[in-house]
């Protein structure tokens, strides 16, 4: 099994610049003017050019009245990126255009930083401490 991560963006070159600078990814394959593969992480990220205001789709077709927008939006799916040094990762992401949404929080298992990319997609940096999630695991 392999996971692929797909992210809609309204400006493909801006998306490439952000993910290359913030995460150190590299451009793999290009798919015409509408898509690019970014490699160098644990799963490839595919940036897909979709205009702001275009119909948003779910199973069965367009979701009535729903349109893509690239302001901050909530979704139950987001990326967690495990890093060695959360402060450095946050600084690098902000310099590339991310928005830090809350101060870095320290928990028994590690540190957590919540951010959003320039396209409204939320992501977190995680820096494990001690035994990581084993600090809170109940089974």
**Boundaries of every domain in the chain:** 1-69, 71-139
pTM above 0.85, yes or no: yes
* 66 pLDDT higher than 90: no
- Torsional sign, CA 25, 26, 31, 32: positive
Structure tokens at 82: 């495990």
Q: What is the mean pLDDT of the chain?
A: 93
Asked whether the beta carbons of 45 and 85 are under 8 A apart, the reply is no
Report pLDDT for 82: 96
Share of the chain above pLDDT 70, in %: 96
Structure tokens at 34: 């509408």
* 64 pLDDT higher than 80: no
Domains 1-69 and 71-139 share a fold: yes
Looking at CATH, the fold of the domain delimited by 1-69 is given as 2,3-Dihydroxybiphenyl 1,2-Dioxygenase; domain 1 (3.10.180)
Compute the distance between CA of residue 133 and CA of residue 23 in angstroms, rounded to an integer: 23
End-to-end CA distance of the chain: 25
| CATH of span 71-139 | 3.10.180.10
Mean pLDDT of 110-116: 98
Compute the distance between CA of residue 3 and CA of residue 24 in angstroms, rounded to an integer: 19
> Which residue, among 124, 139, 130, 119, has the nearest Cα to 83 in the 3D structure?
124
Structure tokens at 123: 């992501």
Structure tokens at 138: 């109940």
């Amino acid at each position: 099994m392999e996971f692929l991560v797909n992210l809609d963006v309204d400006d493909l070159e801006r998306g490439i610049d952000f993910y290359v600078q913030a995460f150190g990814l590299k451009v793999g394959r290009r798919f015409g003017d509408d898509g690019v593969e970014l490699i160098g992480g644990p799963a490839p990220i595919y940036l897909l050019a979709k205009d702001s205001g275009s119909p948003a789709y779910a199973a069965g077709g367009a979701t009535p009245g729903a349109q893509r927008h690239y302001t901050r939006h909530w979704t139950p799916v987001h990326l967690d990126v495990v890093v060695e040094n959360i402060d450095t990762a946050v600084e690098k992401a902000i310099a590339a255009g991310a928005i830090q949404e809350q101060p870095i929080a320290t928990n028994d298992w590690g540190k957590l930083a919540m951010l959003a990319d320039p396209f409204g997609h939320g992501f977190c940096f995680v820096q494990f401490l001690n035994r990581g999630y084993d600090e809170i695991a109940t089974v």
